[in-house]
Amino acid sequence: MTREDITDILEEIALLLELKGENPFKIRAYRNGADVITGYGDDFLQKARDNELSDIKGFGKALAEKVHQLVDEGAMEYHQNLKKEFPDTIFELFSITGVGPKKIKALYNELEVASIADLKRVCESGEASSLTGFGKKTCEKILEAIAFREAHADRFLLGDVMPAVRAMLEDLRAHPAVDQVEAAGSVRRGKETVHDLDFIVSTKLAGEVMSFFVNREAVQSVIVHGGTKSSVYLDRGLQCDLRAVSSKEFPFALNYFTGSKEHNVAIRGRARDRGYTLNEYRLAPIEGREAAKLKPIYTEQDLYWALDLDYVEPALRENAGEIEAAEEGELPRLIELENLRGTFHNHTTESDGKHTLEEMAAAAEDLGLEYLGISDHSKSSFQANGLDADRLLKQVAAIRAYNSANDGITVFAGTECDILRDGTLDFEDEILAQLDYVVASVHNVFTLSEKDQTARILKAVENPHVTMLGHLTGRLLLRRKPYALDIDKIIDACAETGTWIEINANPRRLDMDWRRWHQARDKGVKAVINPDAHNVDGLQHLYFGVQVARKGWLRKEDVMNCLTTKDVIKALNAKSS
Ligand code: DGT
Ligand code: CA
Ligand code: CA
Ligand code: ZN
């Protein structure tokens, strides 16, 4: 049982109570409880085991007892009983954009809709239109959202699979018969979503490693248990493949199974042009063809060199110009996580974050960052408890006071300011002028035409107070597609005005997409990698943002938060004057 398991259960209770139409205060108590747990500074589990939770501010006696039972016995009776009142599949419905608890309650009570399949049926048949709030347009939207979800049903967020990847690597590395091990496939290339996990080991005892693999605790079921290749399902239907090769074959297998398929095809063709055949086991001269003598190949680097190419980082292996660049010696030196010195888009308890300014600053400092920007929501994001001008100016004062009282990390005062429907900003210029920077983001009215949405954002870009655009397209990976937007026009305007574009590092967003960055960079647009952290753990998302930057061919000089504190202050001043 982890803290997250507990908060998940409390959130689930809140949802179930909403479905039952319970009193909002009661529902709120569970959500608040989850927030308190996330924000709690000490060892929460110990406190729960010791049955001392009612000492914690914001934790009522009844909730304290329930959570104690959960930690102590591994289950909470109240939760179990609530769950029995609804079919398990009902939770699926919450993942459909545009369907909230009120609608689900009506659907379930009136039409016995308890799963996505049911929902699809009643929207298609028109049965749903007998309910209030289910006009034709709503049903169409719901069907669209279901279709989007179905089209992506076999993929996972990189952020959701990384813990499993790390655990697998650690276990295989510790196995005495394993010489080398790497993750391959889309995970190694840092793709934003992945279908399955691929691992390659080199070993002299493939059979032993295979048995170890299929018997790991994380394995839910075994698909194939072979002598050199096995496949299993992990949690949530995530497939995981393992191949074992000799150490001589390892660089070839690793290269082949890293892909992408398109990159493989291109380098195999290149090998053939030079008189070799390349496959997952070896590079060898084609019989009867003239070819230069090969040097021994121990690593992937040797393999690229043998083909007269510079080493191509896995992040770039998408057949998007990397082979030509490797031939010309023009591959970029890609940014690394360690190059980041700070970050700008982060929330605190003032809006919808779970940790205070002080806690966020301490966590950022622990990560080794030199500066941290605080950008809570603005007032139009009322659902996120956005700040009005008074609260914002108070926060600015608190940040200035923090900086004078503390020597370590520098905190910058900013805002994540809503771009309103007409392209104006949620604060007056005279308020924005008092901040160190402004992240401008769209949080509502996603349905404008491409022309209007583009004009809306262009207007924000033209405001000299806007430092950067937050999560440019509003997409939620595997859940919600980007709103209609002429991204090329925005890129040109950002290049023109010196407005930075965020790489929102939240694994659900990773927005602006890596496919856009190479060109944006060449036009002179600067990137800024922001975790959009809503709690201290959220700062860890920077890792995923760096993956996107790497896939977008970015170097550290292209990313503004690689600048030193002194230089970034200069850049912020230059932007707003
Ligand atoms: P995924 O799993 O859909 O997220 O993406 P990948 O790239 O991990 O694809 P996967 O797991 O099917 O295969 C891993 C790698 O193996 C892939 O990137 C390239 C290589 N590979 C698989 N099938 C083929 C193929 O038919 N031809 C070539 N050239 N390479 C292949
Ligand atoms: Ca894969
Ligand atoms: Ca695979
Ligand atoms: Zn936002």
Per-residue pLDDT of 334-388, as tens digits, reads 999 999 999 999 999 999 999 999 999 999 999 999 999 999 999 999 889 999 9
Statement: residue 466 has pLDDT above 60: yes
| Any atom of ligand 1 within 6 Å of the Cβ of 553 | no
Predicted pLDDT at 293: 86
Mean predicted lDDT score pLDDT of the chain: 95
| Any atom of ligand 1 within 6 Å of the Cβ of 182 | no
Give the number of the atom of ligand 1 that is nearest the alpha carbon of residue 155: 4
Please choose, from the candidates 488, 495, 562, the residue with its C-alpha nearest in 3D space to the C-alpha of residue 530.
562
Q: Where in the chain is the domain with CATH 3.30.460.10?
A: 156-247
Longest dimension (CA), the chain: 83
Write out the H or E segment, with its range, that includes residue 497: helix 487-497
Predicted pLDDT at 154: 87
| Any atom of ligand 1 within 6 Å of the Cβ of 231 | no
Task: For Cα atoms 237, 219, 9, give the angle at the middle one, nearest 5 degrees.
Answer: 65
Q: Which ligand is nearest to the CA of 197?
A: 2
156-247, what's its fold? Beta Polymerase; domain 2 (3.30.460)
| C-alpha of residue 470 to centroid of ligand 4, in Å | 6
262-328, what's its fold? Beta Polymerase; domain 3 (3.30.210)
**Residues facing 415 on adjacent strands:** 376
Predicted pLDDT at 197: 98
| C-alpha of residue 375 to centroid of ligand 1, in Å | 40
Give the number of the atom of ligand 1 that is nearest the alpha carbon of residue 260: 18
| Any atom of ligand 1 within 6 Å of the Cβ of 198 | yes
Q: What is the mean pLDDT of residues 3-25?
A: 91
| C-alpha of residue 483 to centroid of ligand 3, in Å | 31
Give the number of the atom of ligand 1 that is nearest the alpha carbon of residue 186: 8
pTM of structure: 0.87
Report residue 148 as tokens: 């989007």
Q: What is the mean pLDDT of residues 224-236?
A: 94
Hey, which of 257, 263, 317, 477 would you mutate to test ligand 1's pocket, going by the most ligand atoms within 8 Å of its Cβ?
257
Torsion of Cα atoms, 472 then 475 then 476 then 479, to 10°: 180
Statement: residue 575 has pLDDT above 80: no
pLDDT in tens, 131-175: 888 888 899 989 998 998 888 888 999 999 999 999 999 999 999
Nearest CA to ligand 1 atom 21: 261
Write out the H or E segment, with its range, that includes residue 67: helix 61-73
Q: Decide yes or no: CATH 2.70.98.60 for domain 337-576.
A: no
Statement: residue 462 has pLDDT above 60: yes
Of these ranges, 135-149, 284-298, 407-421, the one predicted with the greatest mean pLDDT is 407-421
CATH architecture classification, 3-149: Orthogonal Bundle (1.10)
Positive or negative, the CA dihedral 92, 96, 102, 105 is negative
Nearest CA to ligand 1 atom 8: 185
Predicted pLDDT at 455: 98
Give the number of the atom of ligand 1 that is nearest the alpha carbon of residue 241: 11
Predicted pLDDT at 101: 86
| Any atom of ligand 1 within 6 Å of the Cβ of 186 | yes
| Any atom of ligand 1 within 6 Å of the Cβ of 314 | no
| C-alpha of residue 150 to centroid of ligand 4, in Å | 26
| C-alpha of residue 502 to centroid of ligand 4, in Å | 11
In this prediction, what percent of the chain has a pLDDT beyond 90?
84
Q: Where in the chain is the domain with CATH 1.10.150.110?
A: 3-149
| C-alpha of residue 317 to centroid of ligand 2, in Å | 14
**Residues facing 240 on adjacent strands:** 197, 232
Q: Where in the chain is the domain with CATH 3.30.210.10?
A: 262-328
| Any atom of ligand 1 within 6 Å of the Cβ of 261 | yes
Q: Which ligand is nearest to the CA of 231?
A: 3
Hey, which of 256, 261, 280, 316 would you mutate to test ligand 1's pocket, going by the most ligand atoms within 8 Å of its Cβ?
261
Write out the H or E segment, with its range, that includes residue 157: strand 156-157
CA atoms of 419 and 465, how far apart (whole Å): 13
Q: Where in the chain is the domain with CATH 3.20.20.140?
A: 337-576
| C-alpha of residue 441 to centroid of ligand 4, in Å | 6
| Any atom of ligand 1 within 6 Å of the Cβ of 265 | yes
Q: What is the mean pLDDT of residues 405-414?
A: 97
Statement: residue 57 has pLDDT above 60: yes
Chain centre to alpha carbon of residue 100: 23
Predicted pLDDT at 169: 98
Which residue blocks in 200-342 are alpha helix, DSSP H?
A: 206-214, 250-258, 261-273, 300-306, 322-328
Residue 115 DSSP code: S
Predicted pLDDT at 576: 61
436 pLDDT band, cuts 50/70/90, is: very high
| Any atom of ligand 1 within 6 Å of the Cβ of 257 | yes
Cis amide linkage into residue 449, ω under 30° from 0: no
Nearest CA to ligand 1 atom 1: 195
Hey, which of 186, 199, 477 would you mutate to test ligand 1's pocket, going by the most ligand atoms within 8 Å of its Cβ?
186
Q: What is the mean pLDDT of residues 73-98?
A: 90
| C-alpha of residue 411 to centroid of ligand 3, in Å | 44
